[in-house]
Amino acid sequence: MAPTGEHHLLSTEILNRGIEPSGPDAGSITFSVRVRRRLPDFVQSVKLKYVKLGYHYLINHGIYLATVPVVFLLFGVEVRRFDTETLWRMLAGYDLVAVLGLLVVLTFTFTFYFFSRSRSIYLLDFACFKPEDDLKVTKDEFIEQARKSGKFDEESLEFQKRILESSGIGDETYVPKSIMSPEKTSTMKEGRAEASMVIFGALDELFHKTQIRPKDVGVLVVNCSIFNPTPSLSAMIINHYKMRGNILSFNLGGMGCSAGIIAVDLARDMLHSNPNNVAVVVSTEMVAYNWYPGRDRSMLIPNCFFRMGCSAVMMSNRRRDYRRAKYELEHIVRTHKGASDSSFRSIHQEEDAQRFKGLKISRDVIEIGGEAIKTNITTLSPLVLPFSEQFFFFSTLIKRYYTGTDKSEGGTTAAGKSPHLLPPAHEDSPLAHSSSSTKPYIPDYKQAFQHFCIHAASKAALNELQRNLGLSDQNMEASRATLHRFGNTSSSSIWYELAYMEAKGQVNRGDRVWQLAFGSGFKCNSAVWKSVRRIKPPAGNNPWLDCIDQYPM
């Protein structure tokens, strides 16, 4: 999800539709939708169809879990009806061939299940790139160097200064030196130079940590949204490390800040299809190549938030790697809202009136992002929540549905308006009294997860997610610290957050980690990891070691 400044969270009440009169999009439908200062209130707008989607996913992937207790229950009831002598007499009366046939069928069934089930996917280790100190820039230095570059007028500089002051970003983030020069930075040369620095830096550290040779890697997935040269970034890595010729390599482009989880999902599918293999996932973004030197305010916002960063993750499906692994992958849930025109254009790469290329952030991105996040979380809930939380949530949701407050399309009230577009009701207003008895029960996600890695898009986005999900400041600590120390590093931010937790020594055996990322498309994706051992604070190779004592601030 692209960062959004406070000034972009203003509300409008009119929904307009029109036709683009001129330009490259002439004749296409344009949208001007209601903009909210907050994310849609999850309490008022839970959609039943996404809850059903979550339970459908659970049934398809774990129906055998429901049959096991039933079989044992029926077997126990039958055994209690007979004593030992009666059972032996019954068995003696059966044909030996029939008994042996039954045993063969049972043996074949359990053998087929054992060999056909998906292999566990382990996360052996990961690395996050930390640039050199000479690339650090404070907020004041950022504005001053932007002024010296001669690319911005005073109004644009003042606008970026206001965004930075409310962004939640600190004074030790990293940017390439080239963006402050008067020369053009979005060149292939600058893009390749930055890519080599961050990608090889992260991979060198990963191979050192895991002691796995590059030639042993069977699957390579690289995601970078904006910079996609030919040959690809994945080919650049293969060439640099002289990887083997039959490696399965993939290069994902244009998929935004949520692409890190998409890349993990692709690596998981490849590992399921290729046993006894190791996969590497690289997530990054090129800051200089995406630098916008124009005056369009909606396209200046990414300049203020995006900073240098890269993560490299080592995954394995080899059973022998269980003992050395840190985490086991439990679930991945992906949500795509691209079928909606407004969602599709909410974060859009285009050129401004001066032909400068950049990312255009629409004014309704907060509401669109909230809808995608809500859909993803609602689908994920049946997979991860304890039974008690699911019972209360589902029962109150059914009550809301049958009382007419919430229909299966989720969300129309008696007034015919979508409830998440309604203003919050005051406690003693008629609206509050009429809906209080039909509010769905919002589960306590702290009972499902011990750690939260929520994409550090902006301070406003983190505040709203904390409010909607009922999370504590401690739950949001890693996300806020990452935004302050490293800025928005796009698809790699969730790994800087996990590195923060490890540096604090917070991850214990059996803990569940929820990674939630969102971005252009509009997409929202979740990954759930379970720690297979206690993660001790690292002695080295962690980007937080020199500053971990400063957090939480």
Phi, psi of 24 (to 5 degrees): -65, -20
State the catalytic residue, choosing from 455, 468, 475, 525. Answer: 455
Distances (CA, A) of 126 to 171, 233, 256, 283, 423: 26, 19, 21, 11, 43
> Would you state the pLDDT for residue 199?
98
Helical H runs in 187-258?
188-210, 233-241
Q: Can you say whether residue 196 is alpha, beta or left, with left for phi > 0 and alpha for psi between -120 and 50 degrees?
A: alpha
Q: Of these residues, 336, 348, 463, 541, which one is catalytic?
A: 336
Query: Is 455 assigned a catalytic role?
Result: yes
- In 3D space, the residue among 500, 513, 354 whose CA is nearest the CA of residue 445 turns out to be 513
Q: Cα(243)–Cα(278) distance, rounded to whole angstroms?
A: 13
Q: Where are the domains of the chain?
A: 6-51+334-422+429-550, 65-116, 122-330
CB atoms within 10 A of CB 459: 21
Residue 45 is given by DSSP the state -
Supply the pLDDT for residue 427.
35
User: What pLDDT score does 487 carry?
Assistant: 95
Q: What is the pLDDT of residue 483?
A: 97
How far is residue 322's CA from residue 106's CA, in Å, rounded to a whole number? 29
Report the predicted TM-score, pTM, of the whole model to 2 decimal places.
0.79
d(CA 436, CA 318): 51
Indicate the angle between helix axes 259-273 and 493-503, nearest 10 degrees.
Answer: 80
Exactly one of 257, 304, 453, 524 is catalytic; name it.
257
CA angle 73, 78, 83 (to 5 degrees): 130
Mark whether 488 is an active-site residue. Answer: yes
The Cα–Cα gap between 195 and 217 comes to 20
Q: Report how far residue 297's alpha carbon sits from residue 310's, in angstroms, rounded to the nearest whole number.
A: 27
CA distances from 396 to 46, 431, 518 (A): 11, 18, 28
Q: Judge contact between 255 and 223, C-beta under 8 A.
A: yes
Question: Do the domains 6-51+334-422+429-550 and 122-330 sit in the same CATH topology, yes or no?
Answer: yes
ω into 229 cis (within 30 of 0): no
Q: Is 56 a catalytic residue?
A: no
User: Cα separation of 377 and 444, whole Å?
Assistant: 12
In the set 277, 317, 488, 542, the catalytic residue is 488
CA distance 366 to 346: 9
The per-residue pLDDT for 2 is 47
As a CATH number, domain 6-51+334-422+429-550 is: 3.40.47.10
**H or E segment at 517?**
strand 512-519
* Cα–Cα dist 198/205, whole Å: 11
Fill in the DSSP letter of residue 352: -
In angstroms, the CA 150 to CA 111 distance is: 70
pLDDT in tens, the chain (553 residues): 445 444 333 333 334 444 455 554 554 544 443 434 455 555 455 555 555 555 555 555 554 444 445 444 545 555 555 555 665 665 566 556 666 776 777 776 666 655 555 689 999 999 999 999 999 999 999 999 889 888 898 999 999 999 999 999 999 999 998 887 777 777 899 999 999 999 999 999 999 999 999 999 999 999 999 999 999 999 999 999 999 999 999 999 999 999 999 999 999 999 999 999 999 999 999 998 988 988 899 999 999 999 999 999 999 999 999 999 999 999 999 999 999 999 999 999 999 888 999 999 988 888 888 889 988 988 888 888 888 877 777 777 677 767 765 544 444 333 333 333 222 333 333 223 333 444 555 678 888 999 999 999 999 899 989 988 889 999 999 999 999 999 999 999 999 999 999 999 999 999 999 999 999 989 999 999 999 999 988 877 899 999 999 999 8
The answer to whether residue 7 is catalytic is: no
- The answer to whether 28 and 6 are in contact (CB under 8 A) is no
Which residue among the candidates 451, 453, 525, 542 is catalytic per the annotation?
451
CATH number of 122-330: 3.40.47.10
Alpha carbon separation from 54 to 58, 331, 375, 385, 397 (Å, rounded): 6, 12, 10, 11, 14
Residue with tokens 């490390």: 241
Catalytic residue (one of 484, 524, 525, 542): 484
